[in-house]
Amino acid sequence: MRPDQMPDLSITHLFLSDPVLLTGFLLPLVIIGAVLFFRIRAYRRITALAARNEQRFDRSSATTTAQWQEASERSERMIALLTEIRDQLARIAPPAPQS
């Protein structure tokens, strides 16, 4: 059909009257929209997971720090007790004479 013989139809009418043209136009838009939707959804899930992991790491590092401090305090107390026992024994039992 020559251009001067084509009926005077609006673009909307052309799209709605031709299923191939309508599908060919809408399908890529639907695919792009779905990809964007799932990409944003995955980004939010990963961001939330990263935030939770950071909180867990902070809690565990604080707990580990506290445990190390307690262990070092216990070690210092043990060393002090052993030193005191050594000093007491040195006062009670004088060193053996060397021959």
Measure the CA–CA gap between 61 and 86, rounded to whole angstroms: 37
Residues with Cβ within 8 Å of residue 17, at least 6 apart in sequence:
9
Q: Mean per-residue pLDDT for 7-29?
A: 82
Q: Which tens digit of pLDDT belongs to each residue from 48-94?
A: 999 999 999 999 999 999 999 999 999 999 999 999 999 998 888 87
Mean pLDDT computed over every residue of the chain: 88
The whole model's pTM is what? 0.50
Residues with Cβ within 8 Å of residue 25, at least 6 apart in sequence:
15
Burial readout 8-34 (b: 16 or more C-beta within 10 A, e: otherwise) = eeeeeeeeeeeeeeeeeeeeeeeeeee
What pLDDT score does 17 carry?
82
pLDDT band at 15 (very low <50, low <70, confident <90, very high): confident
